[in-house]
A = this chain, B = another copy of it.
């Protein structure tokens, strides 16, 4: 499978007249870099590897393009237009009959179907399988950041919303995406991990209760750092400028990687995260102080009510 990928990639690189190429891999694929380097050197390219952490197409190693012709970004679909970047998918296949495991959890016979980028190629097969079980799927168009129909990101649930369904099946790993979908759509959400075969209903209220507690913990914070990412697809400066004006105690803090160590070193009493939305929700247990989403900070400052709680998405 790898060699197929590479022959196609070599074709695209040659078409562009690339001579020197930077490769960027997400954390789960970094181990494959040495074999990919060897194959591309064999094909006549000069190769450089980006060694920084990478969790999405929002985090492109563009600083390498000064000394290279093309950046090949593996494993993610583009979240924005980038002329000198090739996005090289890394599909992960599974047997679609595993969807059988989700059937006992469904209430209706029409379903919104969403998944992550590595499985979008299987959406037609998933639809056919579900149809054979009497279930009709709707697959919504995504946003600018999710180019494939039915594709969701941890920061964009537009395809779930666009499905218009009351019941949504998320096929993918982990509970963050389906939890976000549940809060964003207020639909009933079933999550199926296609690799382990585990299916379950996922509700948003557990996360929301936890977040309510974090907001309360942030009350009275004398110093607030409004985090702005320096990563290409996470830099929400306008949002941060608006939030920093909500309190005299707030200041903008720029960061590349938002880590517990750096938040501790800086010593602010509370942070607001405008970088990757998952950070605030997923990593709170690792952080030394409350890290709020933009919407949660608005609730803290009284410019949004709790009933208007919304999950943070990058649009």
Could you list which residues of chain A lie within 8 angstroms of chain B, going by C-beta atoms? 22, 27, 30-31, 33-34, 37, 41, 47-53, 61, 63-64, 67, 223, 225, 227, 230, 237, 251-258, 261-263, 265-268
Contacts and interface: CB of A to CB of B under 8 A. Distances in A.
Given A63-B230, A67-B237, A253 B34 contact: no
Max chain B C-beta neighbours (<10 A), residue from A227, A252, A258: A252
B262 A33 contact: no
A252 B33 contact: no
A145 B22 CA distance: 30
Given A34-B251, A51-B266, 18 more contacts: A22-B254, A27-B265, A30-B265, A31-B265, A31-B266, A33-B266, A33-B267, A34-B223, A47-B251, A47-B252, A48-B251, A49-B251, A49-B266, A51-B253, A52-B230, A52-B255, A52-B257, A61-B254
Nearest to A50: B254
A98 to B, nearest CB: 29
A37 B251 contact: yes
Closest 10 CB pairs of A and B: A51-B255, A51-B253, A30-B265, A31-B267, A34-B223, A49-B253, A48-B252, A37-B251, A30-B266, A63-B230
